[in-house]
Amino acid sequence: MDRIVELRKLLEYYNYLYYVKNEPVVTDQKFDELMHELERLEAEHPEMFDPNSPTQRVGNDTTNEFVQVAHKYGMMSLANTYSEQEIRDFDERVRKGIGGDDVEYVCELKYDGTSISLRYEEGNLQVAVTRGDGVRGDDVTTNVRTIRTVPLHMQGEDYPAEFEIRGEILMPFAVFNRLNEERLEAGEALFANPRNAAAGTLKLQNSSVVAKRQLDCYLYYVPGEITLTPTHYGNLMKAREWGFNVPPYIELCHNIDEILDFIHKWDVERKNLPVPIDGIVIKVNSIRQQLQLGYTAKSPRWAVAYKFKAERVETRLLSVDYQVGRTGSITPVANLEPVHIAGTTVKRASLHNEDIIRELDLHQHDMVYVEKGGEIIPKIVGVDVEKRVADAPEIEFITRCPECGTALIRHEGEANHYCPNEDHCPPQIAGKLEHFVSRKAMDIEGMGGETIDLLLTKGFIRDIADIYTLPSRREELIGLEKILYPESYVMTSIPLGKVIYAFEIGMKNISAKNADVLAEHFGSLAKLAGASKEELMAVGSLQFPGDREKSVNKILEYFRMPFNEPLERLKQAGEVDMLPLDVVIYALDIPGIDFHKAGLLSVKFDYIYRLYTATLEEIAETDEMSREDAERVYRFLQGKEKLIRKMNTLSVYRLQERSVDNLIAGIEKSKQRNLPEFINALGIRYIGETASRNLARHFKEVRKLMDATFEQLTEVEDIGEQMAGSVIRYFEKTENREMMERFLQYGISGTMQEEEGESDRLAGTTFVITGTLSLPREHFKAMILKAGGKVSDSVSSKTTYLLAGENAGSKWQKAQKLNVTILTEEEFNTLMGS
């Protein structure tokens, strides 16, 4: 259908202008209208399905295993240098290698993400492959299609029939910070850095989640075997014409001085970039000279990477909090005076354990040195003892759990402290629930961390068995909600981005995203107010629906207005990125409310939404507040609903009817899980997936497992004394035995289901899997286990077979020495009868 084809081309072009060129030509509303039209037409004409349609960028929730794909051109790594002298040595080697001819270099930024190779056929994206081992990588095409800066179709008409381009998948700082704030508030482990977060996101098996993570893609290399132009720079410019997101931070250099100037410039400017970098890449521009120089076994001789030194800043330690992990481990976290480092504002740093605190000799309110280096989660690397406050007390590690008050323990030989109250400590209960519903356990869809937290908070569940009472409470669950309090900052302050957004600085209805970008970039209202036009234009992550310069001028006009009373009042907060509530209330310019009375209001109502929703009587109860003043405040706030809602720092998590029905369906489906998954779901210490399967096969029924003796347990294959003791202790607890009875009453069979694929075809055999196979190793492992065999991680005299794919290494050699039978994938399939 012509209209479908037309819409796809149009939307892809608008997408390119918005995300790659940063030059939108249509409003978001118009773009959405066209997208909805395309969605409707595609639904009416399923025969027109195309995986590269713009409608497919949102991803789906289908779980797919990643298949390994061979690279057409090998993906090599670059040699690293760390000094200017090493750069000079590289230049000498290059000039010598090309016989003293003139050489031109291309200097680029070294992006800190995960490498990707994109292959196109007839202009359409066919496959996206990770680096892997350089020879083969994972096919992540479905996930890469969700990235807006990756073209699904090449633009123009002069592109080759087959084309490959390489670059980096990146997570922008703004997205990374937002995700970590969300994880922090949910009590989840933080991403270590944007690189790890990008790599982990790319490997998620739910592309709809990938789409929400808002990854970016910068492209910087066309393999030299593809001859587009005589130079590397020319290839990139050609790729840019075809719609690829080739970054603008590229310079042609003709000598060492120009290269060093480029390095020095970006060593300073890197903190202003929207994405992380960790160095500079220098490449010989001429393709002919590249081929002349060739390669070593690991890297090209015509390119080198210069790595930046870790950035270090000094800031003040404000306090130390202690977080309880899902397994009860206690992690100390330093709260810092906000400081800008490597592209982000740092407020917290993990201290890992008590030993680290002791080694640093931390005292309260110390001035500390913070580094990021390659790790974006910051770490404290030292203390300025000379600036220590006199008689400042040492930081003492806590002795009791901050969540439940139980005395902490520390096992001999371990660095971490633990809370032993695993059955009643709230974070540990949540951890047990999350494990119970996970994919390799009971696999209950629709029960993520946020839902678990809501159900715990509202008292719907207290333990894992309570999950099976939820289907009978459907009507109560629909509409169940809780306010998500922002635990990452005190309630008496408001993020600068919220204030900018609420006061509509610069232009009517400035987007929340732009407001956050401005707040993150400038760090305080005073710095933003004093910014020049050039500084505002240089903030690359600002996105406007119309002319960029015109939009920036509107921002400047706001800050240059005479008698801008609200702005002057807001600037009283000083150099902070969290504005105190009293300053914000004062800036609202409520008739009759001076700064003193604004302060009294902020004390009584500790966040803006409580003040906005207060009754007249509640406002009148404020200290020193007359009835007349209270009425003025009340009337003013009723007329400023839009502004207050924008400043509201709270959000609500609510269960909708569809979500509840999906959750109930997932719970009912989980009752069909086999005994191995059920035992694994219980979360018995030391009993993992393999041990659960061995116990299930041996005892066949959960009641027999509950009553097993220590001697009976140690008779089970691969169940040692530690595991057996853990099972005994688990079922010795009355509450656990009662919980098992409840499970059986709720419909879980508690018996081994023969039809699940159990057989004895491979009984008594032990496999080790190595090398690159056509499918993920989990696929072959599942086949072996279902056929009664065992899978081990290491080759020994007990190994029956080594299943070896391509690039098998030391395990293959050891199997040969021990005369272990080595199977190819084809031979394994023959053995299995398939």
Residue 408 in contact with residue 422, Cβ under 8 Å? no
Would you say residue 30 has pLDDT above 80? no
Q: What is the mean pLDDT of the chain?
A: 84
Strand 124-130 relative to strand 303-307, pairing: unpaired
Residues 51 and 121 in one domain: no
Average pLDDT rounded to a whole number, residues 519-545: 82
Active site residues: 110
Residues 676 and 750 in one domain: yes
Which of the listed residues 286, 307, 328 is the one where a domain comes to its end? Answer: 307
Residues 752 and 784 in one domain: no
Would you say residue 60 has pLDDT above 50? no
Confidence of residue 611 (pLDDT cuts 50, 70, 90): confident
Which of the listed residues 307, 336, 352 is the one where a domain comes to its end? Answer: 307
> pTM of this prediction?
0.50
Residues 153 and 121 in one domain: yes
The helix or strand, by DSSP H or E, that contains position 250, with its residue range, turns out to be strand 250-253
Please report the pLDDT score of residue 110 as a whole number. Answer: 94
- Does residue 777 lie within any of the structural domains? yes
Please report the pLDDT score of residue 62 as a whole number. Answer: 42
Angle formed at CA 509 by CA 506 and CA 512, multiple of 5 degrees? 95
* Domains in the chain, number: 5
Residues 797 and 749 in one domain: no
Residues 545 and 506 in one domain: yes
Mean pLDDT is lowest, of 326-335, 341-350, 737-746, 803-812, for 341-350
Mean pLDDT is lowest, of 160-169, 177-186, 632-641, 654-663, for 177-186
Residue 108 in contact with residue 250, Cβ under 8 Å? yes
DSSP 261: H
Which has more confidence, 540 or 241? 241
CA pair distance 715, 118, nearest whole angstrom: 53
- Does residue 186 lie within any of the structural domains? yes
- Does residue 437 lie within any of the structural domains? no
Would you say residue 539 has pLDDT above 60? yes
Q: How far is CA 106 from CA 286, 302, 626, in A?
A: 9, 11, 70
The CATH number linked to 11 is 1.10.287.610
Mean pLDDT is lowest, of 458-467, 627-636, 673-682, 804-813, for 804-813
Strand 417-418 relative to strand 344-350, pairing: unpaired
Angle between helices 173-185 and 194-202 (to 10 degrees): 80
Would you say residue 373 has pLDDT above 60? no
Binding site listing for Zn(2+)? 401, 404, 419, 425
Residues 47 and 192 in one domain: no
Would you say residue 184 has pLDDT above 70? no
Q: Is 685 exposed, middle or buried (0-12, 13-18, 19+ CB in 10 A)?
A: middle
- Does residue 336 lie within any of the structural domains? no
Confidence of residue 304 (pLDDT cuts 50, 70, 90): very high
Would you say residue 798 has pLDDT above 90? no
- Does residue 499 lie within any of the structural domains? yes
Question: 509 CB contacts (<8 Å, ≥6 apart)?
Answer: none
CA pair distance 745, 741, nearest whole angstrom: 6
pLDDT per position as a tens digit, 447-506 = 988 899 899 988 899 899 999 999 999 999 998 887 776 554 556 778 888 888 887 776
Residues 555 and 639 in one domain: yes
The helix or strand, by DSSP H or E, that contains position 369, with its residue range, turns out to be strand 367-371
Which has more confidence, 704 or 449? 704
- Specify which residues 107 forms β-bridges with: 251, 282
CA pair distance 343, 173, nearest whole angstrom: 7
Please report the pLDDT score of residue 612 as a whole number. Answer: 81
CA pair distance 94, 104, nearest whole angstrom: 11
CA pair distance 365, 317, nearest whole angstrom: 5
Query: Maximum CA pair distance of the chain?
Result: 94
CA pair distance 327, 307, nearest whole angstrom: 37
Please report the pLDDT score of residue 283 as a whole number. Answer: 96
Q: Is 227 exposed, middle or buried (0-12, 13-18, 19+ CB in 10 A)?
A: exposed
The CATH number linked to 273 is 3.30.470.30
Please report the pLDDT score of residue 485 as a whole number. Answer: 64
Domain limits for position 52? 2-58
Question: 780 CB contacts (<8 Å, ≥6 apart)?
Answer: 767, 769, 773, 803, 828
Average pLDDT rounded to a whole number, residues 579-602: 86
Average pLDDT rounded to a whole number, residues 785-797: 82
Per the structure block, which two tokens stand in for 329?
């481990």
Q: Which residues of 640-665 are buried (b: 16+ CB within 10 A; e: fewer)?
A: beebbebbbbeeeeebeeebbeebbe
Would you say residue 745 has pLDDT above 80? yes
CA pair distance 679, 634, nearest whole angstrom: 58
Residues 541 and 635 in one domain: yes
Residues 750 and 772 in one domain: no
Which has more confidence, 365 or 378? 365
Confidence of residue 563 (pLDDT cuts 50, 70, 90): low
Residue 75 in contact with residue 166, Cβ under 8 Å? yes
Confidence of residue 550 (pLDDT cuts 50, 70, 90): confident
- Does residue 134 lie within any of the structural domains? yes
CA pair distance 140, 125, nearest whole angstrom: 12
Strand 651-654 relative to strand 821-823, pairing: unpaired
Per the structure block, which two tokens stand in for 563?
């008698």
Average pLDDT rounded to a whole number, residues 68-78: 84
Please report the pLDDT score of residue 599 as a whole number. Answer: 86
Confidence of residue 792 (pLDDT cuts 50, 70, 90): confident
Positive or negative, the CA dihedral 243, 244, 245, 248 is: negative
Would you say residue 59 has pLDDT above 60? no
Q: How far is CA 814 from CA 791, 795, 824, in A?
A: 17, 7, 16
**Tokens 């009042």, residue located:** 569
Residues 31 and 157 in one domain: no
Mean pLDDT is lowest, of 74-83, 477-486, 577-586, 670-679, for 477-486
Which has more confidence, 664 or 422? 664
Would you say residue 136 has pLDDT above 50? yes
The CATH number linked to 631 is 1.10.150.20
CA pair distance 518, 501, nearest whole angstrom: 10
Q: Which amino acid, one-letter code, is at 140?
A: V
Of 539, 569, 572, the closest CA to residue 556 belongs to: 539
- Does residue 425 lie within any of the structural domains? no
CA pair distance 330, 769, nearest whole angstrom: 36
- Does residue 377 lie within any of the structural domains? no
The CATH number linked to 821 is 3.40.50.10190
Please report the pLDDT score of residue 755 as a whole number. Answer: 42
pLDDT per position as a tens digit, 404-433 = 899 999 987 778 899 999 888 888 898 899
Residues 609 and 689 in one domain: no
Up-side HSE of residue 180: CA atoms within 13 Å toward CB? 24
